[in-house]
Amino acid sequence: MRNLLRVGLLLALAAPIGCFPSTSTNDKSASSTPSADEATPRETIGKTTQNVLDLEQALRDGAELASTKVESKNPLMISADAYRTSVGKIGGMGVEQAIQLRNAQSIQDPKPLTYDVFMAEIIKKGQPDGIRLPMLPYYQEYTWDKKNQKLVVVDFPARIEEREKQR
């Protein structure tokens, strides 16, 4: 019975772990206060999204490039940190493959993708053959880096701060 209680406790702790922020935070805050919805944890495991922001606009709105390293020292948070970074990398790999396929099919030299072209030709938002990216925690979003022509993940520290105020 005692082992069953331990397993239940571990499951209760592990299930929502993908929604918690990493232990490192920055003092920089967003230029605008996030809404309550933006600061509310969302389901991540098994969920997908086609929401991709423009990197330049996201940076103006207070975003910061997310770390791609597993940095947590807390044993319970290591899995969440690893999940977050892996999800972002896997999403980027799928987008990179779709871009390579698009470029290989182009008769002329492929031109760099603007945000609008990227969304229309690669993500194909709302279309059945569109790319569905793994869902990120509430304080992270996918963005299109036009300069480097790749999908990157950004953190919104203001969402974390707003969430802390709600507690």
Report mean pLDDT in 10-residue bins for the chain, 167 residues. Answer: 39 37 36 65 82 94 86 80 82 91 77 91 92 90 94 90 79
Q: Please tell me the predicted confidence (pLDDT) of residue 141.
A: 93
Q: Are strands 48-49 and 64-65 parallel, antiparallel or unpaired?
A: unpaired
Residue 17 is predicted with a pLDDT of 35
Shortest CA distance to 15 belongs to which of 38, 46, 51? 46
Orientation angle between helical segments 2-14 and 75-105, nearest 10 degrees: 40
Residue keyed to tokens 């929401």:
51
Going from N- to C-terminal start, the domains of the chain cover: 2-20+34-166
pLDDT at 9 (0 to 100): 35
Give the amino acid at 91.
Answer: G
Please calculate the CA angle 41-20-29 and round it to the nearest 5 degrees: 80
pLDDT of residue 95: 93
Whole-model pTM over 0.85 = no
What integer pLDDT is reported at residue 158 of this predicted model?
Answer: 86
- Distance, in Å, from the CA atom of 134 to the CA atom of 125, rounded to the nearest integer, reads 14
CA distances from 163 to 17, 62, 138 (A): 15, 16, 10
